[in-house]
Structure 1
């Protein structure tokens, strides 16, 4: 985690009184976002829907396969929260957990078409596809992305990345497809994790032991500063819930971030791979690369 100076005038009483969102389990996070008394878990642990591939490889499975699905109301409107349990296999996605996410998004889309406008919230704490289920996990991530695209055309799909585990691998693509993305200062987002980059390209490309470097590139502050995420919030249940309700209130945009290909191309063209800017300068470089919204063609 990055070491960040505490701003002057910090309200320590409020800071110490807050309830950490990061420290909650996936099940508790999902319930905390929904309106009091409305949360109802689907495909819970007593249904014993677990991966058949882990035990033969010496891994003890979980009865919910590390994904929690809770239906309820969010700010008085129908919603479903899908939370990945970061404490199980590093939030890795396998066949069963991936299908749970994809099926939930597809059912939410069906509810919308049937007249029940249901929004979805994804709590993304994952290192990507579970190594023990490699190809199966990759296939289900593709299904997740397909179902997400189906739902986001009808209702907002809000992504939340809160903890230091972050969101990497295939599920980072799902994060990029979300209608809006919320992060904390402690969180991280990237396609490849620092250790993967170092192992493939060497320490000169990315030093996975340099935490300051990692958070300056992948951290929530950088991702929101460069407009790859939409809101930076305090690690606090109330703050995260308020940000999610606000994101849902924005509705479905005319064009999602992933559809603004002209803008994304301009951002890529603004960076010279042979002489990349310092992470702290990237936001300014990209701000000059894309014209103000009123001038966009």
Structure 2
């Protein structure tokens, strides 16, 4: 074994998978050691009032963990979505926790406390059982991101394995910076929804290599839809957050470049199904 190979093996054995952690552990792993303090924790028993009416067992935190602490010594709030509960779907309570935390962070900044925000996005979008209430909550999250990013960067992290879809996919696009791993997927409609509406010939949701080649973290980064592409490692993700926060706010948020992206879509030839290379070239502006 070469020295380079041995170093790679050592690094792999020492790495701590971020994807395998739950929402609470993810938030704790990214905050400075000893600074984690959870807001509205499970003992507060703030649960969805709507799920029991439909025979669904609730979770005491409604699938969202909000934690205050510091990142690189600076005040920060992390909102982490638990993908294992109802597919990370957004309902009234969980959505309000995220929106409220972002609004309080914006208030902190107006009062001279430079509070940053990180969103750990592991979600399929709106919770169908809460329908319009979930949609309203997502709209509040999006508005709060836009407000806070005027003061401090709002960083979204999509690690896997649920991915980030639906209205929360739009929320991801509103973040100042978006970090993705190889295991991540980012989009508006999920593979099964597309297959259901357009047919398996258009989008086979069981073809995992095909799905990841179009919506996976590596592709989204190469296409300019994600700012950072990192390994599934807690330390690597924390280091990337520190680097992005040190950069400060981007000169122009991605959502303000809508005309550029719309032109890319206009240039797309939909008569044939695009492959990964064509999609990448299209978003890089090289496709005719």
Which stretches in structure 1 are left out of the alignment for 5+ residues?
1-6, 291-297
For normalisation by structure 1, the TM-score amounts to 0.92
Q: Say if 2:85 is the partner of 1:88.
A: yes
Q: Say if 2:152 is the partner of 1:164.
A: no
Residue 57 of structure 1: how far off its partner (Å): 0.8
Give the conservation status (yes or no) of the 8 Å contact 2:69–2:77. Answer: yes
Residue 270 of structure 1: how far off its partner (Å): 2.4
Partner of 1:204: 201
Residue 55 of structure 1: how far off its partner (Å): 0.9
Q: Would you say how many aligned residue pairs link Structure 1 and Structure 2?
A: 284
> In structure 2, the residue corresponding to 1:105 is in which secondary structure?
helix
Q: Say if 2:24 is the partner of 1:27.
A: yes
Which stretches in structure 2 are left out of the alignment for 5+ residues?
none
When structure 1 is superposed on structure 2, of 51-60 and 107-116 the one drifting more is 51-60
After superposition, residues 102-121 of structure 1 pair within 5 angstroms as 102-121=99-118
Q: Say if 2:35 is the partner of 1:38.
A: yes
Residue 284 of structure 1: how far off its partner (Å): 2.3
Please provide the CA RMSD for this pair. 1.5
Residue 281 of structure 1: how far off its partner (Å): 2.7
| CA deviation map 1:222-251 (0-9, x unaligned) | 000100001111100100101111111221
Partner of 1:75: 72
Residue 277 of structure 1: how far off its partner (Å): 3.4
Change (3 A) 1:271 1:54: same
For normalisation by structure 2, the TM-score amounts to 0.95
Partner of 2:188: 191
| CA deviation map 1:45-65 (0-9, x unaligned) | 111111000111111101110
Partner of 1:155: 152
Partner of 1:15: 12
> In structure 1, the residue corresponding to 2:129 is in which secondary structure?
helix
Partner of 2:62: 65
Q: Say if 2:253 is the partner of 1:256.
A: yes
Residue 289 of structure 1: how far off its partner (Å): 4.6
Give the conservation status (yes or no) of the 8 Å contact 2:214–2:275. Answer: no
Q: Say if 2:243 is the partner of 1:246.
A: yes
Change (3 A) 1:260 1:9: farther
Give the conservation status (yes or no) of the 8 Å contact 1:34–1:73. Answer: yes
1:274 maps to which of 242, 263, 271: 271
User: How far apart are the structure 2 equivalents of 1:276 and 1:59?
Assistant: 40
